[in-house]
Structure 1
Amino acid sequence: MTVEQEKEQLLPSTRRALSHRVAVGQSQGRAPSLVGAVVRGGRLVWAGARGVIGGREPDVDTQYRIGSLTKTFVAVLVMRLRDEGVLELTDPLSAHLPALEAEVGALTVGQLLAHTSGLASETPGPWWERTPGGLRPELTDVLGPAPVKHPAGSRYHYSNPGFALLGALVERRRGEPWGEALRAEVLAPLGMDRTTPLPQAPAADGFAVHPWADVMRPETVQETGRMAPAGQLWSTAADLARWAAFLAAGDERVLAPATVERMRLPAAPPESGEPDGGYGLGVQLLRREGRALAGHTGSMPGFLAALWVSVQDGVSAVALANCTSGPAVSTVAADLLAITADAEPGFPQPWRPADTVDPGLLDLAGPWYWGTAAFALRVRAGGELELAPLTGQGRGSRFHVEHDGTWTGREGYYAGETLRVVRDRDGSVSHLDLGSFVFTRRPYDPSDPVPGGFRGWPDH
């Protein structure tokens, strides 16, 4: 066994714990079948299933309908357009779908991605998940006469029609159906040939399980038409393992890691009563037992799905079931992830020195003071700067360089803020200016440009 193969193996005790969790989820949830998978280091390292489909146990190549996990794929298509300069997240929808200006034209692309547009959660009746898409041939049919329920940007309000509009935006800008754009731009590069708009054998049938009796009946599968970007796709555990790896690290063939990271950042607050939730740009966020997760859940009649990624742990997990309700697949997927991460915590990447470092950056490294608060500025491999309080209390951030020589914060309080190096006339560094906050080499040095002035310490 090679070193790389050894790294990919899970311990027998871990594999048993994972199998046990899937078995409990299928049994207690009364699901016809349940499939689970774990990804570590970007690779599928474990999969297990319980139940029967067509006389056999399902496997990682069995298709299930994934419901609202579809939204993560649509969001990636929109972010590709953004990175190409075709649109901005601040664009009003009317800039791309002018026919809808009267209904929702002022709502922005970013608000639709984050579910802060205020659009209704569902279409006007009948229920779109259980009726043919032909009943809603036009985009206005998914909106109804009064589609905006809350002032735009005022709160998080999950909207399925909002993603129908984003799918239409993709079609308008690409000049082809969103599903075709998805296949060519995303699925093919990632090798996800078992993710499709319609089921392809082997695929699970969906069932409704009676809540008070151990009987079930088949659910009807509908093609949802205009609403397809909200929940149409089918996929497999193996394909979703690839998708989890992508959502964790990005892939330059599809979307830059920095853009995928932005999708995982909070863009909407949690709903009232759900303090551990939240939403990014087409990505659900969850904090569970101190662990930050990103991904999405999904449901359609006859099917449940969940995918969670922990970037910090380097572990992701997927759970798929073929029943309308029953097993808490979101919890199952989160548990599979936690079992793996807790039983076999990942090793950090080995430290390596930077190949080259700008000598000017080394002049900036070391201690700095904001007033009397001590900070350290470190130069990381790759050229990023990291500012962190020495006491562990206070605001810090990573910064990446811009073309004009300034630095932009990537996270926390200083996200998006500009860090400038201010120099004296002789070219030496005077101080750092971070969004008007002055960082000096000595605490409150009277010679430094501290706003408001300072009379100096007793020995001055």
Structure 2
Amino acid sequence: MLDSTALALYRRLAREQSAGRAPSLVAAVVRDGELVWSGARGRVGDARPTPDTQYRLGSITKTMIATLVMRLRDEGRLALTDPVERHLPGTAFGSATIAQLLSHTSGLTSESPGVWWERAPGADWAALVASLGEDATKLRPGFKFHYSNVGFGVLGELVARHRGRPWFDVVRDEILIPLGMHRTTPHPEGAHAEGFAVHPFADVLLPEPTPDAGAMAPAGQLWSTITDLGRWTAFLGGHTGGVLSGDTLAEMRTMNTVDDTEVWTTGFGLGLMVVRHQGRHLAGHTGSMPGFLAATLIDPASGTGALCLANATAGVGITTLCLDLVEIVGKREPAVPAEWRPSTVDPDLLALTGLWHWGPTPYLLRVQGDGRLTLNPADGAGRASRFHPLGEDRWLGLDGYYAGETLTVGRDATGTATHLNLATFIFSRTPYDPAAPIPGGVHESGWR
């Protein structure tokens, strides 16, 4: 960052720490997969916190559990449409699907029954399931967004069952070690911040408890540092380090449901929060546990993200701070577009490009640098999608109206492409080309 940008970021951090009365507050900015700025205000004990000081992540833990579930899906061990009963038999909420748990649309209760789980030692899986009777499902599965900490306790157990070892061991082996996140742990180790509640009417502190949450731990147990969380923020932006494919991560970032239904600003994909802010679509998650607040958000389009950690139960606008840090960088140092370079394209694929017509409407088919296709209306308005090759003249829709649909290339006896069949719609080289299999045929008198 330029010195002027770094100063603006630090001033915003300092203003939040002072106004929010945070015992300590640390933040960082990630760009293009690298941590490019970090700052700290307040004290941890008698010292300023460093990028190696641990804070509790809270619900950011859920994003790692979701990543493990998607790895299982990509390995073919489960489908997102599978009911919970297929993998964790014997629960009262077995009809909810894995996708519904990931997107907080399962209808499952938000908190585990009994005592306030965030401030008390947690029960094991058997005790948690025993406490969740028929009334634990508060809304019809799939009906609407209803945030559920319990749902991620369930997903943590699902991961443990499939891998045959505790959920954190799987997180460590499949995420933390590959990404170099060596200071992320289930309990504080080494330099760490103590969690506090700040009195609402006086400048005094009350230490908060940090017990092990037991079966609910996958919903918010982990501790981490600015350095490690920076690596995780970069991961969420697309620098996956081989932990997930780029397509799977993009799927996780795709909004499934919204929290505020009037004019949405916050929604959820698959285990990830999606935030719309000043023309940006950011992905990540927030976290809160007694004594701690956390947030990580990144704009995949620009590669710029921010992360913030505080040791206060309340008072700090942690999400707004993250968004403001991203905006400061975006305005003062706009991202430079990636350099264009020519690529090698198969001649048969190149022959497919150009003008096609859906009835009388012209469309343009293009090849992207990654070998995928895009199909867009020539005037820019209407149904547009990207397509991934399936082989043998077949392509899978990735987004837009045709997401999940198959595009098939039709050829004549010479092998020349004569039409595209996309979810039964026929695209021909000229409007209603008689040589193409147009449903209903083309009037014998032609255009007149």
8 A contact 1:417–1:435 mirrored in 2: yes
8 A contact 2:53–2:193 mirrored in 1: yes
Query: Could you tell me which residue of structure 2 aligns to residue 169 of structure 1?
Result: 158
1:87 aligns with 2:75: no
Aligned residue among 107, 115, 127 for 1:118 = 107
1:316 aligns with 2:284: no
Query: What CA deviation, in whole Å up to 9, does each residue of 1:155-187 have, x standing for no partner?
Result: 111111110010011111111100111111110
Helix, strand or coil for the counterpart of 2:135?
Answer: coil
1:282 aligns with 2:271: yes
Aligned residue among 268, 289, 304 for 1:300 = 289
How far apart are the structure 2 equivalents of 1:309 and 1:429? 42
Query: Could you tell me which residue of structure 2 aligns to residue 337 of structure 1?
Result: 326
8 A contact 2:178–2:241 mirrored in 1: no
1:187–1:411 CA distance, 2 compared to 1 (3 A): same
So what's the TM-score if we normalise by structure 1? Answer: 0.93
Query: Could you tell me which residue of structure 2 aligns to residue 6 of structure 1?
Result: none
8 A contact 1:62–1:237 mirrored in 2: yes
Query: Could you tell me which residue of structure 1 aligns to residue 201 of structure 2?
Result: 212
How far apart are the structure 2 equivalents of 1:90 and 1:55? 51
Query: Could you tell me which residue of structure 1 aligns to residue 418 of structure 2?
Result: 430
What aligned pairs does 1:92-103 form with structure 2 within 5 A after superposition?
92-100=83-91, 103=92
How far apart are the structure 2 equivalents of 1:142 and 1:66? 26
Query: Could you tell me which residue of structure 2 aligns to residue 259 of structure 1?
Result: 248
Query: Could you tell me which residue of structure 2 aligns to residue 439 of structure 1?
Result: 427
How far apart are the structure 2 equivalents of 1:450 and 1:261? 35
1:413–1:425 CA distance, 2 compared to 1 (3 A): same
How far apart are the structure 1 equivalents of 2:445 and 2:313? 70
Deviation at 1:223, TM superposition (A): 1.1
Task: Count residues with an aligned counterpart.
Answer: 448
8 A contact 1:156–1:271 mirrored in 2: no
Q: Which stretch shows the higher mean deviation, 133-142 or 357-366?
A: 133-142
Helix, strand or coil for the counterpart of 2:282?
Answer: strand
Deviation at 1:135, TM superposition (A): 8.0
Deviation at 1:446, TM superposition (A): 4.5
**Letter paired with 2:348:** G
Aligned residue among 135, 149, 172 for 2:138 = 149
Query: Could you tell me which residue of structure 2 aligns to residue 58 of structure 1?
Result: 49
8 A contact 1:218–1:302 mirrored in 2: yes
Aligned residue among 425, 428, 438 for 1:450 = 438
Query: Could you tell me which residue of structure 2 aligns to residue 36 of structure 1?
Result: 27
1:291 aligns with 2:291: no
**Letter paired with 2:361:** A
How far apart are the structure 2 equivalents of 1:44 and 1:457? 66
1:244–1:269 CA distance, 2 compared to 1 (3 A): same
8 A contact 1:124–1:144 mirrored in 2: no
Deviation at 1:238, TM superposition (A): 0.8
1:390 aligns with 2:378: yes
1:344–1:410 CA distance, 2 compared to 1 (3 A): same
8 A contact 2:266–2:276 mirrored in 1: yes
Query: Could you tell me which residue of structure 2 aligns to residue 234 of structure 1?
Result: 223
Deviation at 1:136, TM superposition (A): 7.3
Aligned residue among 188, 191, 210 for 1:202 = 191
Helix, strand or coil for the counterpart of 2:374?
Answer: strand
Query: Could you tell me which residue of structure 2 aligns to residue 3 of structure 1?
Result: none
8 A contact 1:293–1:310 mirrored in 2: yes
How far apart are the structure 1 equivalents of 2:102 and 2:286? 15
So what's the TM-score if we normalise by structure 2? Answer: 0.96
Deviation at 1:386, TM superposition (A): 1.1
1:450–1:136 CA distance, 2 compared to 1 (3 A): closer
1:415 aligns with 2:406: no
How far apart are the structure 1 equivalents of 2:52 and 2:173? 21
Helix, strand or coil for the counterpart of 1:104?
Answer: coil
Q: Which stretch shows the higher mean deviation, 209-218 or 21-30?
A: 209-218
Query: Could you tell me which residue of structure 2 aligns to residue 73 of structure 1?
Result: 64
What aligned pairs does 1:181-200 form with structure 2 within 5 A after superposition?
181-200=170-189
Identity of aligned residues (%): 53
Deviation at 1:88, TM superposition (A): 1.2
8 A contact 1:142–1:161 mirrored in 2: no
Deviation at 1:425, TM superposition (A): 3.0
How far apart are the structure 2 equivalents of 1:185 and 1:260? 15
Helix, strand or coil for the counterpart of 1:346?
Answer: coil
8 A contact 2:282–2:298 mirrored in 1: yes
8 A contact 1:444–1:456 mirrored in 2: no
1:458–1:106 CA distance, 2 compared to 1 (3 A): closer
1:456–1:116 CA distance, 2 compared to 1 (3 A): farther
8 A contact 2:124–2:215 mirrored in 1: no
How far apart are the structure 2 equivalents of 1:288 and 1:247? 17
Query: What CA deviation, in whole Å up to 9, does each residue of 1:175-216 have, x standing for no partner?
Result: 110011111111011110111000112100111111122222
**Letter paired with 1:59:** T
**Letter paired with 1:418:** T
8 A contact 2:186–2:221 mirrored in 1: yes
8 A contact 2:179–2:241 mirrored in 1: no
1:274–1:192 CA distance, 2 compared to 1 (3 A): farther
How far apart are the structure 2 equivalents of 1:58 and 1:141? 42
How far apart are the structure 2 equivalents of 1:207 and 1:70? 20
**Letter paired with 1:95:** R
How far apart are the structure 2 equivalents of 1:158 and 1:17? 35
Q: Which stretch shows the higher mean deviation, 261-270 or 15-24?
A: 261-270
Query: Could you tell me which residue of structure 2 aligns to residue 47 of structure 1?
Result: 38
**Letter paired with 1:99:** G
How far apart are the structure 2 equivalents of 1:210 and 1:137? 37
Helix, strand or coil for the counterpart of 1:275?
Answer: coil
Q: CA RMSD in A?
A: 1.8
